Structures are given as C-alpha cells and as structure tokens.
Structure 1
C-alpha cells in the first residue's frame, strides 16, 4: 500500500481524517495497519451480530448510524445464497465476499473475504475500537446455526441474546440458547419453539437476568419463577392472574423484580379492570399531580421505560418487608398497558 510509505507523522495525520469505515477496512490488511488503526483511538457505541439469511456484524457508531459487515460465506452454510443486489450467486464459489454498508453515507462497498472466521472479525474490531462485549447476538433463522459457528462464540460475553423465532431442530435450539443465555445479561424470547411448560424452558426463567422479554402467554407459576430485574411481556398473563401475582409479590415473590410492563387485551373499562387487578389488594391511589422519578439498580435500560423520570400517580402497594411499588394501568377499548415500578427505599 503506497500510503504506508509516508513518514509516520504524515501517515498518522492522514489517517486521522479518514472516516471510520475506511479505518476499519484499512485495519484488516495487516498487523501493521491494525496497530496503526488502533493507535488512532477511534470509538463506537457497540458491536452486534445478527444471523438471518446472511450473517451481519453491525457496528453502532451513533444512535442512528451503523457500519454493517454482511458476510457472503459458505463456511457455516451448506446451501448457496443468491443476492439480487449483486446479481450473482456469491457463496457457492471459492471466492467469498463481504458487503459493507455505511448508513452515514448510504453507500455499499465490497471486499474479498479474508482468511478469518466471524469471531476473528469480532475480536479484531473489539481490539481496534477498545470494546470487550457484544451488545447483541440475535438469531432469526437457523441457516448458519452449525456447531462450528456456535463454538466460535461460546466464551464471549453478550449483553443481549435474542432467541430464534423458528428453528427446525429444537434440541439444537435449546443447546444454543443455553450456551448464550449463560453469558448474557438480557434474554429476549420470541415465539415458542419448544413446549414452554418444560424443565428446559423454566431453567431460563430462573436465571438472574437484568432483562427478560417474552412475547407469548405464560402461566402464573412460570411468571412467579422469573428471577429478573425487568420483565417485558406481550399479553403475558390474564388480569385475574395479575391480581394473584400482585398478592404473591406483597408476600415476597420475585424479590429481584424492579419493573415490569405488558399489555392486557380485554374489552372492558379501566374501572372494571382496576376492580379485578386490585381485588383483595391493599393499595393507596396517588393523584396524577404527583410526579416521581424512577431509578433502576442496573445500568443501560433507562431508554426502555417511557418517561421514567416523571411517573404520574398510580396505585401504591407495600410488601411485607416494607418494599414499596406503584402499579399504573392505561389504555382504551381492549388495549391496556400495565406497568409496575418498585421504588428504592434507601
């Protein structure tokens, strides 16, 4: 590369003005270019890996800006893949490619696939960008979910694991989710791919996640077994079960719970909904004029709670150990939104 012939000071000055995409591709050429790129102390918010039709490594450089490395490789996949944007079958040939999409410039470039595994790319960019943990590892399809691929990531810490929406091999799915969830702080369950009333499913509920999201209906026993700080659900339990859940919480269940939210789909008025949810529950109604700021004990989840610094009113309940919480219910028609806030008593 001709640029490497420049004097060190001139080379560094030139590189300082390059956009991050060019720095990252430059870093892949050799150990020297990697060290030069690292010495620039460029940064990014996070790195994620998403497995869909192809494998995508996403580098978040700002809230709305990303650099996406899309891998056209047969290393983890048996069947070739046709990309209509490229117009050719790319990954049934010896030559493999990476498509790189820079959202800041709305541009796409191509480069030959170096002799590196996906995990090698992750570790490489961790080093260049001074990061140490994947923000998210998500699986939407099992096209690349081979043992070889999973083994590359088994020792890597992941902030969020998003489970597959559909996989043909449920036993392999369970193996994948067990491996990734054990090193994750957040677990997102999509649609069930194995019977959730099983020991295999419940073992994930017992884990101490910061955040647990589940998008299908559970039994009351299953919800009471969730040992996470934040719980998100979509029509998670019925209103009568919610009433029993609150009474269990008052008596000491779900001790790590600080916040939950989910939707209740029931054609009824808010008044009737209140009467069901708070039946035999001691509560104190707070006026909407009362504004309170809510704080979580875990970092990085504030953006997931709407208007958490201005919690209006709600129904206050108290646990037998003195812990206090507020339950809020909003909605119209048959769509109702339920929130639970546990307050820090200190």
Structure 2
C-alpha cells in the first residue's frame, strides 16, 4: 500500500498459476470471480479437483491493463468485455479431452486498475500471456517497440494467407489456417477525405482493425505509429513469417489511387495473384495487369469479364493461372475462347459450358492446342446435365483410379487420353452441391 493525496491505493498486481489433471468425466464448471479472494478460491478448487468442465484446450485468462500502460497501440484489455475494478476474464469452448492430461492454468488480476509489470514476467510466461490475446491485439502489441515485435515473432504464429485490397482505402486481410483465429482486416485511412482522383498512396492517419469481417467483432482504432503502408506490410510479414502477398485485390470500378504511387508502395512485394472483385471494371483490371506485370496469375469474379471477346489479349497471355467465373457472373465462354487460352492452369465457371464443348476442347488438345496447359477445371452450373458418355465421345480413353484433385484421401474414376506426342492427360468428373466439375490434369 502507498499513500497518494491522503488516499491509500492498492497498487498490487498478482499472478497465480496452478496445474490440474482433467479427464473425460469433466463436469465441473469453474466460476468466474473477480478480485484476489475469488482467484484464490478458484485456484484451490482447481488444484483439488480431478475433473472440471473445460473449453477447448483451455486457458483461463485474466486481465485488464490500464489503457495507457502499454503505449498507444494496445487496446487496453485482452479479450471481450472491459470490466472495471477487480476482474477476471475466462475463455472457453466446450471440449471433452479423450484422455487424462495436465493443463497449466494462468490467472492474472489487477486491483484498482494498477499497471501490470508485463515485462517483469519470465519469458515463457510472457509468451503465454501474448498467446491468450486475439491476433488483433497481438499485432497492436507488436507495434509498441522493437522488443515487443521480436517477442511476437518469437512465438512463431502463422497466418495462412495475407492479401491486400485496393478499395476506397487500402486494407490488409489476414486469413488463418483451419485451426487458427478468425479472419482480421486492417484498413488504412487518409488524413482528409479527398474526392479528387487519382490520389497518391498516402501515409495513413489512422488505422482500424476488426476480427470476423461478417460480424465486425473486436473493432479497434489506432493512431498510425508513423508507418507507411509499405512498412505496415513489411511489419506483418516479419512477425508472421510471411514472404508473399497471396492476393492484390481490386474492388472499385475505377482505382482512385495513382498507379505509379501504388506500384511504388506495394510493387516490391512478391504478389502471387491479381484478384478482380465484382465491382472492378475491365479497364481497372487491364491497368492493374499493365502496372504489375510480374504477377502471373489472374482471378476475376467481376461481371465486367462476362464477354471474353472484350479481353482476348488477356486470354492469350502466358499466365501461370487464369481463373474466370463466379456465382453472380454470367460468363459467356465459348470453344474459341478456351482454345485461345495460353495459361498453365485454367479454371472456368460458366453457364455456357457444355459437355460437348469440353469434349471438343479435349479433341483439339489431342491435336496440339493449348501446349502450355498443365491443369484445367471446368465447373458446370445451373444443374446442367453432364455424363461421361458425352464428355468422352470419340476419344480413345483408358479408365484409371486416381486421387481427387480437390478432396483429400478420396479416389475417383479417371480417364486417360493421349496427345499425338503421347503426352497423357487424365479426365475426372466430380459432383458438388453447386454443380458438376470436370478436371483435366496433364502428365509429361
């Protein structure tokens, strides 16, 4: 205790840890209690218990840190609600462990909103605390100093996919793997609204982040710590061990940013795919391909691509991947369009696809068309009837069993056909809830 202005304030922060064995008979629910007394009681209950109701892998967490204790970028609390005074947060998801196991349970408490000496914790304990945070808070924490950046990197967190979106503002989207956290999006806002276009890529004045794009959970806003968009990308790639930008996506009919400025900001990064969303115009897409020529894969979900006769100069390019068509598109693809494609991988989803058209495509391939193609995917929509007799009509084929191109540990029927130079290509047919899919894989 110490006195300040004649008033005693408890400035003590406490850390407790306990270990207990939990098994499949777990039925007990640990109570959520605030204050030191509540924590001690909970720990005694845990330590004495041979069973407890836990929630997915569980860690009970603790915590509220004053908003000013860890710099301007730390949201001020770890997770969920901001409880005042004594508080304890617990996180749980129903889970029944298949066997007995030991879990370390960490609980933290701050009393009277006192500063918590986070960096006084042992390194392993500090990492456990950080791993209890949402990824949004972890990114914010990593910005406090070089030390926090290195601590976050040392935890070796992984993000499955990082993408950039060019819309009214520029955003970074993080998509985790199946076992990871929810998707999060960081958006970078200019100082003033500027209706004049094109505008240069700006130094962000403020930054917003949200988890789970659909529900906009965990929305937070920060002042920009003086990082350009280029430096932001470098920072998140560093802490998440990422060397690539999976998508550079364009969402507007007209790109409001100066193309040279945009290329200077993000052109240095290894970008795998140019992605044209439903609002992107054909003109915007063509400009993107012109200014980012090193990106050799293109995906379009934009209705501006419905008429391939308007962009045949794109069809004939030596791309690695060309993917066209989406649920809301009415892509009018024809046989001539397919034969013009010079990409290694093509993926087409179109209501005008027919079994006869794809059959004719295979016959042309046998004679030598599409020499760069290594893989093709045709998705039939609108419940079109498709049978292997139509698909294989007039083709000499050999039936084989092969692994599904899209499903793990699933075998499907396949049919080998041979080009005049004896190169083999394997056709397979799979049915999904959305329609029928034909896959064609070439084996040199």
Q: If the length of structure 1 is used for normalisation, what is the TM-score?
A: 0.72
Matches within 5 A, 1:120-199: 120-142=231-253, 145-147=256-258, 148-167=261-280, 171-180=283-292, 182-184=293-295, 186-191=297-302, 193=304, 196-197=308-309
**2:397 maps to 1:283:** yes
1:185-228 Cα offsets, whole Å, 9 max, x none, are 53202235376435x6424542231x321112333333223233
- For residues 292 and 280 of structure 1, do their structure 2 counterparts lie closer, same or farther at Cα, with a shift above 3 Å needed? closer
Instruction: Count residues in correspondence.
Output: 310
1:107 corresponds, among 207, 218, 224, to 218
Alignment of structure 1 residues 322-341 onto 2, 5 Å: 322-329=422-429, 337-341=436-440
CA distance in 1, matches of 2:384, 2:150: 63
Q: Following the alignment from structure 1 to structure 2, what is the Cα–Cα distance between the partners of residues 31 and 45? A: 24
Q: Which one of 59, 62, 66 corresponds to residue 174 of structure 2?
A: 59
1:124-151 deviation digits (Å, cap 9, x = unpaired): 1112222111122212225764123343
Residues 1-346 of structure 1 mapped to structure 2, 5 A cutoff: 10=121, 12-13=123-124, 15-16=126-127, 17-18=129-130, 19=133, 20-63=135-178, 65-66=181-182, 68-71=184-187, 73-74=189-190, 78-79=194-195, 96-103=205-212, 106-142=217-253, 145-147=256-258, 148-167=261-280, 171-180=283-292, 182-184=293-295, 186-191=297-302, 193=304, 196-197=308-309, 201-203=312-314, 205-209=316-320, 211-215=321-325, 216-235=331-350, 237-264=353-380, 270=386, 274-275=389-390, 277-284=391-398, 286=399, 291-293=401-403, 305-307=405-407, 309-329=409-429, 337-342=436-441, 344=443
In the TM superposition, what is the alpha-carbon distance from 1:176 to its structure 2 partner? 1.1
Equivalent-residue separation in structure 2 for 1:208 and 1:314 (angstroms): 27
Q: RMSD over aligned Cα, in angstroms? A: 3.9
| Alpha carbons 1:189, 1:213 under 8 Å: kept | yes
Aligned 8 A contact 1:65 1:103 in 2 = no
1-structure distance, mates of 2:69, 2:435: 63
CA distance in 2, matches of 1:51, 1:315: 43
Residue number in structure 2 paired with 1:298: none
Measured after TM superposition, the shift of residue 122 of structure 1 is 0.8
Deviations 1:89-121 (A, max 9, x none): xxxxx9943222234994222212333232221
- Unmatched segments (≥5 aa) in structure 1: 81-93, 295-304
Query: Equivalents in 1 of 2:428, 2:183: separation in Å?
Result: 39
Higher CA-based Rg: 2
Structure 1 Cα separation of the partners of residues 339 and 291 of structure 2: 24
Contact persistence 2:207–2:224 (CA under 8 A): yes
Query: Quick one: higher RCO (CA 8 Å, sep 6+), 1 or 2?
Result: 1
SS at structure 2 position matched to 1:184 = coil
Contact 1:137 1:161 in 2 (8 A): yes
Whether contact under 8 Å (1:202, 1:222) holds in the other structure is no
Given that residues 214 and 234 in structure 1 are in contact (C-alpha distance below 8 angstroms), is that contact kept between their aligned partners in structure 2? yes
Name the structure where helix makes up a greater proportion of residues. 1
Q: Distance in 2 between matches of 1:171 and 1:65?
A: 36
SS in 2 for 1:231: strand
TM-score normalised by L of structure 2: 0.58
1:25-47 CA distance string (max 9 Å, x none): 12223444434433444332231
Distance 1:40 1:166, change over 3 A: closer
